[in-house]
């Protein structure tokens, strides 16, 4: 997931929703499963690999990046452990 529109969203609740999901987690649906998950911004070490994967799937993200001076965040959504 990327955050290219989070900061520029005309709807302030979008950024707030992402921040809350990062802090407290939530649920995501993957096919027919609902999983507890938490979001976080990719680390500086993870981002280059994830960005290459993302732009291979959606080349238009390269254009988004070229159109802005800021780095587009890559958000990692990962399952929370059952004990969390």
* Beta strand segments in 1-84, E: 26-30, 33-41, 75-79
Contacts 24+ apart (CB under 8 A), 20-24: none
Q: Which residues pair with 26 in a beta bridge?
A: 37
CA 53 to chain CA centroid, nearest Å: 13
pLDDT tens digits, one per residue of 10-56: 556 666 666 776 777 788 888 898 888 888 888 999 999 999 999 99
Instruction: Please name each of the domains of the chain with its CATH number.
Output: 12-79 (2.30.110.10)
Q: What is the CA radius of gyration of the chain?
A: 14
pTM for this entry: 0.66
């Amino acid at each position: 997931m990327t955050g290219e529109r989070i900061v520029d969203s005309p709807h302030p609740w979008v950024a707030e929703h992402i921040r809350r999901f990062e802090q407290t987690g939530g649920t995501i649906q993957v096919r027919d499963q609902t999983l507890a998950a938490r979001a976080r911004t990719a680390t500086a070490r993870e981002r280059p690999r994830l960005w290459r994967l993302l732009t291979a799937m959606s080349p238009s993200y390269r254009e988004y990046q070229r159109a802005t001076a800021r780095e587009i965040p890559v958000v990692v959504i990962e399952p929370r452990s059952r004990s969390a």
